[in-house]
Amino acid sequence: MPPTEKLSRREREIMDVLYALGDNASADEIRERLTDPPTYSAVRAMLAKLEAKGAIRHRAEGLRYVYSPVTSRSTAQKKAVSQLMRVFFGGSPSEAAAALLKHEQWSDVELDALREQIDHVRKQKRKP
């Protein structure tokens, strides 16, 4: 998928909808979930543009097209987090994590889960 900065706001919204719908959706399903939805024709045009950019693909299911992202959700998440860290935190994961810890309200359960993730990463790094 192209970098998100090359997608318009509406194109990013369509990508968000596709990921939320489990990576497969028709133009109608996408349109229903867009804020201030444009016409069906406009959605189809945007989908064609996203396909031309290499962000999505389609397949025929009966009489309708079903669209899906080219990049998996996890890969898109990794790219987005990397970009966020680079732009706002000088590429530092610890600065990004510290900002989340300072500015968000965390429950004890969430903090315990985070600690488990940190312990898991430490164990993985120790393995030869």
The mean predicted confidence, pLDDT, of the chain is 90
Q: What is the pLDDT of residue 61?
A: 92
- Predicted TM-score of the model (pTM): 0.70
What pLDDT, in 10s, does the model give residues 56-71?
Answer: 999 999 999 999 999 9
Q: What is the pLDDT of residue 2?
A: 45
Q: What is the pLDDT of residue 72?
A: 87
As a whole number, mean pLDDT of residues 22-29 equals: 90
pLDDT-derived band at 24, boundaries 50, 70, 90: confident
pLDDT-derived band at 22, boundaries 50, 70, 90: confident
CATH number of 4-69: 1.10.10.10
pLDDT-derived band at 1, boundaries 50, 70, 90: very low
| 3-state helix/strand/coil string of the chain | CCCHHHCCHHHHHHHHHHHHCCCCECHHHHHHHCCCCCCHHHHHHHHHHHHHCCCEEEEEECCEEEEEECCCHHHHHHHHHHHHHHHHHCCCHHHHHHHHHHHCCCCHHHHHHHHHHHHHHHHHHHCC
Q: What is the pLDDT of residue 58?
A: 96
What pLDDT, in 10s, does the model give residues 91-126?
Answer: 998 999 899 899 889 999 999 999 999 999 999 888
